[in-house]
Structure 1
Amino acid sequence: MAELTDLKGVGRSTAEELTDSGYSTVKSVATATPPELSGAVSMGEGKAGKLIRRAQEAAEDLGFELGTELMERRGEVERIPTGSDGLDEMLGGGVETQCITEFYGEFRTGKTQLSHQLSVNAQTLDGEEGRTPHVVYIDTEHTFRPERIEKMAEAVEIEPDRALQNIHVARASTTDHQMLLAEKTSEIADEEEVKLVVVDGLMSNFRTEYVGRGALAERQQKLGKHLNGLHDLAEDHNLAVFVTNHVQSDPNSFFGDPTKPIGGHVLGHSATVRVYLRKSKKESRKARLVDHPGLPPDSVKFKITEEGVRD
């Protein structure tokens, strides 16, 4: 596989600058645009364009592949149980690897609880050579609670300290930091068998930094790049990407539920699976499968208990 330093004109210092800016692979350079690349590193757009073309010639995974090859890769898909049999059945067995699954809803609908539960349950999968799978948790809203992990781990008979040792947690303070953490996840996945990447509050930093219609185009372009990186991560390392998202009220909706997820069409088209969470009676929550490439719309109820997510 080609390295950055194999590209003509890229020395060690330039490669380090590219890596620090989030362009750590030949493929990431090949799929960039000249304005993006020149803005990230110290080079003009003309030079950036030439570097991109060289990267496109050197990249080995930018072309077509046979349907049989895709089918073979699909055979490696694993599913992480949610803790609720009903929710798992609705999702076709659990949260799939090799794709992005989005759960969205108002506050206190169980999004972060599911993020914690999946972080524990991912460790129950069979790892290669008997190793326990690891989890990367990108926290944008300061909601990760290690004591909650301990409770959930005990409930599924995993030693609490061991469960926490297998979760790599980082708090993303800006969109650039969030995207950099996603890039750094590849390095962890090269060292450990990562089965789950959680981005709890995918749109929080984007929503804070890009305010008003004038900033919408730039926000969506940056969001699209972030999502493409997460898709590459899921496919390259056969891991599940689980993101949570907030909702907003649609003033143009006159019938039915006026709430919709933030992120617009960019997120709507990029998320492989979309599930809408709503509050129900007492501790119950209602999950509605909004979009899935292989399953029809459906809905189930589940509960948030002291032990975690349950039927």
Structure 2
Amino acid sequence: MVEKRNSERLNDEDVVNALSSETPEISDSDLESKPIPTIIDDLDIQDIPGIGPTTAKKLRDAGVLTVMDLAVTSSEELSVEINSSKESAAAFIIAAQQLLRDSNLLDKEFVTADVALEKRKSLLRCTTGSNALDKLLLGGIETQAITEFYGEFGSGKSQICHTLCVTACQPVENGGFGSGSIYIDTEGTFRPERVDQIAASRGLDPTSVLKSIAVCKVYNSSHLELIIKDLGKYINDFKARLVIIDSIISLHRAEFAGRGTLADRQQRLNSMLHKIIRLAEIYNISVVITNQVQSSPDTFFGDPTKAAGGNVLGHASTYRIYLRKSGENRTARMIDSPYHPYSDTKFTVTEKGADDMEEETSSKRGKLKE
């Protein structure tokens, strides 16, 4: 938990240094004596211009432990945490981001489109376990992005999430991330037994897979927001490249009932989602969220089912996939994407988790419901 915060205002020296518009020149001798760090562990909060011991202590007391933590924090949130002006907080955040850029840990503010294209080619993708789903996603779940799966109960959302926990720990050359994963469970749907079954069915060591997954059971919306606030620390602690939130909306939807609370709910949801977006980009992780659905009473033709959360959630997701039941199988449709074609595909759920339909034509024993 966050310790009691120091109530003193930032000292004048810290603020002046942070707000200074001039960048000191760096000579060749400076570079030789103090090379620019290229690993996040080499960076310290006090490496940021304008942050001295006093401010560094306030930041650590507020739970901002690393340069990455500071870079993804909003100025409004930080100003409250360390009892400073928004201008000072914004200056510290900008300085942290600049330090990450100088250390080649964050993209430059402006790059040419060809450079951006080359960078995108180097992004990692994790297989969903189904070739059909991977094809829909043009290679799998992408890093530096939020992938949303929404659909009614039993449509396969949690089954995809369980499968991803297994595939993520596989080596990169086998379609995984070669890393751990974090599973934030808001609906009580995570089952380690299911992970064990999927891993064994895919020829992996269930014990190793289970040890690679950090599970957090969340009980209310405030708890979820606190977990997201400290998510950068957990990503580092568990060496995770995949973060799953199943589901993103259920707690806020249950606690903020009625039109009178809608604005407050959406504001809190928006703040949390933007923090997730910044974390995904700066930590180079993949975020997968599941979402519930609601019926639109004014839809007279077509499918009245739409994703919950309104425009706030719709704008936050990089890729949005709609899942539907289709007999014993499932249908996935790409609803929103910056570049994916609007198409759909079918997959099934077996002992191996999310799987291709053709592998189940000879036997229906393995079919499971979500």
Task: For structure 2, list consecutive stretches of 5 or more residues without a partner in the other structure.
Answer: 1-42, 102-107, 357-370
Question: Which of 32, 37, 48 pairs up with 2:85?
Answer: 48
Question: Which of 175, 200, 218 pairs up with 2:221?
Answer: 175
Question: Which of 287, 290, 293 pairs up with 2:332?
Answer: 287
The residue aligned with 1:89 is 135
Question: RMSD of aligned C-alpha atoms?
Answer: 2.7
SS at match of 1:25: helix
Total equivalences in the alignment: 300
SS at match of 2:233: helix
TM-score after normalising by structure 1: 0.86
Q: Does 1:246 align with 2:289?
A: no
SS at match of 2:148: strand
Answer whether contact 1:8 1:54 (CA < 8 A) is retained: no
Q: Give 1:215 deviation, angstroms.
A: 1.9
The residue aligned with 1:3 is 45
> 1:209 is matched by which residue type in structure 2?
E
SS at match of 2:262: helix
Q: State the structure with more CA Rg.
A: 2
Q: How does 1:1-311 map to 2 (within 5 A)?
A: 3=45, 7=51, 11=55, 14-19=58-63, 25-29=69-73, 31-33=74-76, 36-37=77-78, 41=81, 43=83, 47-61=84-98, 64-67=109-112, 68-126=114-172, 132-281=178-327, 283-311=328-356
Distance 1:82 1:53 in 2: 39
Distance 1:56 1:307 in 2: 44
Q: Give 1:192 deviation, angstroms.
A: 4.7
Q: Give 1:12 deviation, angstroms.
A: 5.4
State the 4+ residue runs in structure 1 displaced beyond 6 angstroms: none
Deviations 1:245-296 (A, max 9, x none): 0000112211111111111111111101101011111x21111111121111
Q: Give 1:42 deviation, angstroms.
A: 7.3
Distance 2:354 2:207 in 1: 20
Percent of pairs with identical residues: 37
Distance 1:56 1:308 in 2: 41
Answer whether contact 1:126 1:133 (CA < 8 A) is retained: no
Q: Give 1:71 deviation, angstroms.
A: 3.1
Deviations 1:231-253 (A, max 9, x none): 22222222211100000011221
Distance 2:226 2:219 in 1: 11
TM-score after normalising by structure 2: 0.73
> 1:245 is matched by which residue type in structure 2?
N
Question: Which stretch has the larger CA shift, 285-294 or 98-107?
Answer: 285-294
